[in-house]
Amino acid sequence: MQIDVIPGKKGYEATPKERWEANLQTWENFKYMHKKVKSPKKLVPVFHAGSDVQQLKKILNFKPKVDLIAIGNIVGATKAEKIAKLDIIFNVIKESDNPNVKVHALGVQDFSLSEMFPLYSADASSWIMVSANGGIMSDKGPILVSEKSTEKKKHFVNQPKAVQEEILKYIDKFGYNMEELSKDYKKRTLFNIKFLEERSKRYECKYGQKRRQKTLF
């Protein structure tokens, strides 16, 4: 991965000028590193989502063609913002001279986005953060199970009996029990790895399919 320049400061929204300058410096970094590294073909350029697409076009027009692009500046955005940014990016890629370039999403762990857009890969720390914070992953979001957080409203012990039974069946499916998951974050981490492995087998990219409009009725 190339060294990129993140625009603005932590806690503050970057200005258009700061985004432009950051992308220019990121581009210069890529060109410099491409000349210096031993395996330039392995070097992955970075584009910050929401920035001027002219910078993205520079990457797509680069010779020799790049095989993989990393997309940053998605973390922290709302779901609607992420979709809007990725829509623009993939439309630009589709119309470029490098339409088959692979796209890696930095800091994203959202299967709904992966199924909406043809992301080649993604990385995120959510799977390990969920386990460290006392939870396990599921299709419906994190489920709190740690014995240290039973006072929280969304914890397993505070759910209706029918919901608890459903959760216990879900846990059993992966070969675990509530007692070990409530006490051991390492077991929760392994559980989350198994969940992601099982969820990835159900992955189906639907890019290009017409999205249904929300209606009043």
H/E run at residue 196: helix 185-201
* CA 106 – CA 115 distance, rounded (Å): 16
Whether 114 has a pLDDT exceeding 60, the answer reads: yes
In a domain, 34, yes or no: yes
**Do residue 66 and residue 136 come from a single domain?**
no
Whether 146 has a pLDDT exceeding 70, the answer reads: yes
**Do residue 68 and residue 131 come from a single domain?**
no
In a domain, 180, yes or no: yes
Is 180:187 a contact under the CB 8 Å cutoff? yes
In a domain, 66, yes or no: yes
Q: Note down the domain range covering 158.
A: 126-201
Whether 212 has a pLDDT exceeding 90, the answer reads: no
Amino acid at 61: N
Q: What is the pTM of this model?
A: 0.80
* CA 207 – CA 97 distance, rounded (Å): 19
**Do residue 176 and residue 88 come from a single domain?**
no
Domain count, the chain: 2
Whether 215 has a pLDDT exceeding 50, the answer reads: no
Which is higher by pLDDT, 28 or 10?
28
**Do residue 172 and residue 187 come from a single domain?**
yes
